């Protein structure tokens, strides 16, 4: 007996060591990922500017971005001011790979000595839309598009998913047909997301004629993808309600509708909100289904409604990663940082809402 106890204790310690090792490995890979993204992307939050005038014959004219050169040619700039440098100069200022000639590097060094070139906070990255020039590209249009897509997705998937889960859990007859529906829902929650993109292309665009690349189509496609997960998580939340609370409601003379509305939903609400927000956080990072419906296209303008073409942040990151200019690598990593920040905000919101409603229930 004593020997068996020692063996069990030894096995328990070995299992704990294995669990700790798995945790440390996960943390190591997470630190490597976050460190590499931060190393590549933090430089995009600064941009190089040159103090130049409207004279096209000045040597610094060749170091400016094409947009600033166009402004000088058209007479939009008439006095000496800080103008945006091109991406190669920006990469040289950040001591990264660039294609500047030796004469251009010497000119940049001379401007550094006279304090006529400097790194400033990159406002364009947050206020501009997409651009073919790295120095002018930004995430504003894609962030607005992401918010519109998520609003449509949330407005459709959460009410429909919660109502479907309530019906299946409390009102639907338990027969072969409802079991078949539940099996289909569980299977839909695990299929590849790109198939939902094909469904959105075939149904919303080809069948109903909705505008391609719009936030409406993107939101509905992500809503279909999120519905099975919301239904499954809502059913789990409803099953977690104590059966004694339901029986007490029936003993007081409540109908089933009154019991669901007054007892089950308030008690299951923290878990329902947590599952719904985490599902939406997962949907916000999906790229494959949105690529199928055309949201990978070059759309620099900000969408003013859910019916106009727009882009989303994951598709924007994918587009930048395929660009040949090295400066777009910074933008790609910086876009990942912004996307991770949005996901952290959504996850914190889920945690805070759960704690808030759990405190009210107590």
Helix count (H) and strand count (E) of the chain?
Answer: 15, 3
**Beta-bridge partners for 81:** 52
312 vs 61: which has the higher pLDDT: 312
DSSP 272-283: HHHHHHHHHHHH
**What is the pLDDT averaged over residues 258-272?**
86
What local confidence, expressed as pLDDT, does residue 160 receive? 93
CB 65 within 8 A of CB 85: yes
What local confidence, expressed as pLDDT, does residue 103 receive? 87
What local confidence, expressed as pLDDT, does residue 1 receive? 64
Separation of alpha carbons 213 and 82, rounded Å: 37
What local confidence, expressed as pLDDT, does residue 359 receive? 67
pLDDT per residue over 135-188, tens digit each?
Answer: 889 999 999 999 999 999 999 999 999 999 999 888 888 888 888 888 888 888
Tokens representing 118 are: 């400097």
Tokens representing 141 are: 């249009």
**Mean pLDDT over all residues of the chain?**
86
Nearest CA-CA partner of 195 in 288, 315, 311: 288
β 81-84/117-121 pair status: unpaired
What DSSP state is assigned to residue 251? Answer: H
What local confidence, expressed as pLDDT, does residue 212 receive? 85
Nearest CA-CA partner of 300 in 122, 67, 131: 131
Cα 113 from chain centroid? 42
What local confidence, expressed as pLDDT, does residue 220 receive? 92
What percentage of the chain carries pLDDT values higher than 70?
A: 97
2 vs 197: which has the higher pLDDT: 197
**What is the pLDDT averaged over residues 130-136?**
87
**What is the pLDDT averaged over residues 278-285?**
84
DSSP 65-104: -HHHHHHHHTT---S-EEEEBPHHHHHHHTT------HHH
Q: Is the pLDDT of residue 57 over 60?
A: no
């Amino acid at each position: 007996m004593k020997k068996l106890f020692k063996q069990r204790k030894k096995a328990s310690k070995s299992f704990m060591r294995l669990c700790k090792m798995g945790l440390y490995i996960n943390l190591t890979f997470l630190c490597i990922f976050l460190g590499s993204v931060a190393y590549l992307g933090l430089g995009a939050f600064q941009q190089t500017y040159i103090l130049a005038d409207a004279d096209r014959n000045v040597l610094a004219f060749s170091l400016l971005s094409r947009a600033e050169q166009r402004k000088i040619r058209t007479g939009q700039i008439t006095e000496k001011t800080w103008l945006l440098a091109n991406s190669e100069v920006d990469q040289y200022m950040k001591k990264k790979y660039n294609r500047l000639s030796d004469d251009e590097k010497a000119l940049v060094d001379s401007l550094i000595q006279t304090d006529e070139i400097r790194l400033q906070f990159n406002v364009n990255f947050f206020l501009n839309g997409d651009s073919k020039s790295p120095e002018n590209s930004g995430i504003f249009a894609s962030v607005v598009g992401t918010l519109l897509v998520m609003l449509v997705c949330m407005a459709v998937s959460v009410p429909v998913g919660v109502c479907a889960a309530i019906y299946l859990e409390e009102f639907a007859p338990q027969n072969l047909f409802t079991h078949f529906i539940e099996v289909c829902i569980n299977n839909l929650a695990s299929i590849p997301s790109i198939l939902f993109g094909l469904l959105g292309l075939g149904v919303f665009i080809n069948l109903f004629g909705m505008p391609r690349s719009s936030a409406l189509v993107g939101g509905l496609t992500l809503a279909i993808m999120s519905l099975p997960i919301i239904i499954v998580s809502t059913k789990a939340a409803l099953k977690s309600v104590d059966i004694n609370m339901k029986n007490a409601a029936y003993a007081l003379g409540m109908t089933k509708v009154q019991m669901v509305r007054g007892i089950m939903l308030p008690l299951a609400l923290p878990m329902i909100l947590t599952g719904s927000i985490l599902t939406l956080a997962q949907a916000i990072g999906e790229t494959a289904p949105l690529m199928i419906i055309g949201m990978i296209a070059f759309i620099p303008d900000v969408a003013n409604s859910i019916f106009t073409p727009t882009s989303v942040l994951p598709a924007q990151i994918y587009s930048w990663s395929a660009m040949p200019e090295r400066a777009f690598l910074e933008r790609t990593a910086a876009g990942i940082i912004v996307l991770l920040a949005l996901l952290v905000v959504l996850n914190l919101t889920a945690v805070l809402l759960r704690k808030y409603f759990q405190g009210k229930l107590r």
